């Protein structure tokens, strides 16, 4: 993990991203995180080891990371934004009961055909499909 974190720190330094202990803690929390946390969840987790971190620091950091393309800002939940450190092409499914978000790694590009009148005006460069349902925990 230390070697990986050193590589991550080096990557952000090269991009001119100012790294404070709080920002490094946020990056550590996000690294490999598949829970699609909100800014509030990131703040709560980081605050355990960095009690002086402010919510503004967390929010501004995730916004900067999203603008850099390092994390995805998900608006699949109408109540709050979630963040996904996995920037590879994939889709999401959200439980309408507990709001849990999971990744869907299926390529739908071939099965989603847009009408010709749309593709005449646009060159399609990607897609993102959001699914909604009830997770197995909530179903039980």
Give the span between the Cα atoms of 44 and 41, in whole angstroms.
Answer: 5
User: What pLDDT, in 10s, does the model give residues 123-133?
Assistant: 888 788 899 99
Q: Where in the chain is the domain with CATH 3.30.1490.190?
A: 91-139
How many whole angstroms separate alpha carbon 94 and alpha carbon 133?
6
Q: Start-end ranges of CATH 1.10.10.10 in the chain? A: 2-84
* Residues 47-98 pLDDT 10s: 999 999 999 999 999 999 999 999 999 998 888 999 999 999 999 999 999 9
Q: Which pair of structure tokens corresponds to residue 81?
A: 């934004």
Q: Which residues of 26-47 are buried (b: 16+ CB within 10 A; e: fewer)?
A: bbbbbeebeebbbbebbbebbb
Specify the fold of 91-139: Dna Ligase; domain 1 (3.30.1490)
Residue 109 pLDDT > 80: no
Does the 2-84 domain belong in CATH 1.10.10.10? yes
Position of tokens 């950091």? 61
For the entire predicted model, the pTM comes to: 0.85
């Amino acid at each position: 993990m230390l070697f990986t974190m050193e590589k991550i720190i080096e990557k952000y330094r090269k991009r001119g991203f100012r790294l404070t202990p709080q920002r490094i803690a946020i990056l550590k929390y996000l690294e490999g995180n598949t829970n699609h946390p909100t800014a509030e969840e990131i703040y709560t987790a980081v605050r355990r080891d960095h009690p002086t971190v402010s919510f503004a620091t967390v929010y501004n950091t995730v916004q900067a990371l999203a603008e850099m393309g390092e994390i995805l800002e998900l608006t699949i939940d109408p109540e709050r934004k979630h963040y996904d450190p996995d920037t590879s092409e994939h889709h999401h499914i959200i439980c309408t009961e507990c709001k849990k978000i999971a990744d869907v790694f299926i390529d739908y590009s071939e099965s989603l055909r847009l009408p010709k009148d749309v593709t005449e005006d646009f060159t399609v460069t990607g897609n993102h499909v959001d699914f909604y349902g009830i997770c197995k925990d909530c179903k039980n």
